[in-house]
Amino acid sequence: MLEQQFGMTVDTRTCVGCAACVIACKTENRLAEGYVRNWITTQTRGRFPELVMTIRSERCNHCRSAACVRACPTGASHYAAGGTVQVTGSKCTGCKACMAACPYDARYVDEQSGTVDKCTFCNHRTSRGMATTACQEVCPTRSIVFGDLNDPDSEISHLLAQRDWYTLKPDAGTRPSHYFLK
Partner 1 sequence: MEATSTRANPLVDPGLTIWNQDVAIYLFLGGIVAGVMILSGAMRLWYKQEEPSLALRLLPWGNLALISIGMFCLFLDLENRFNSWRFYLVFKAYSPMSWGAWVLLLVYPVSAHMAWAETPAHWRETVLRKVPLLRPWGEWSVRARRNFAALSIVSGSVLGIYTGILLGAMPSRPFWNSSLLGPLFLVSGVSTGAAFMLLFRLNQGERRFLGFLDFLLILAELGIIALWIIGMAAGGEASLQALKLIFGGPYTAAFWSLVIALGLVTPAIAEFIEYKHRAIPGRGAALLVLGGGFALRWIMVYAGQHSGWASEASAGLF
Q: How far is the CB of 52 from ligand SF4 (least distance, A)?
A: 26
CB 16, min distance to partner 1, A: 12
Spatial contact of 60 and 37, defined as CB atoms under 8 Å apart: yes
Question: Residue 25 interacts with ligand SF4 (CB under 6 A)?
Answer: no
Per-residue binder mask for ligand SF4 (CB under 6 A), 150-179, x = binder: ------------------------x-----
Looking at beta carbons only, is 146 or 180 nearer to partner 1?
180
- Could you say which of ligand SF4, partner 1, none residue 80 binds, taking C-beta under 5 to 8 angstroms by partner kind? none
Size of the residue set binding ligand SF4 (CB under 6 A): 29
Given partner 1, ligand SF4, none, residue 85, with its beta carbon under 5 to 8 Å by kind, binds: ligand SF4
Strands (E), the chain: 6-11, 39-47, 50-58, 77-80, 84-87, 108-109, 116-117, 144-148, 165-166, 178-181
95 counts as binding ligand SF4 under rule CB under 6 A: yes
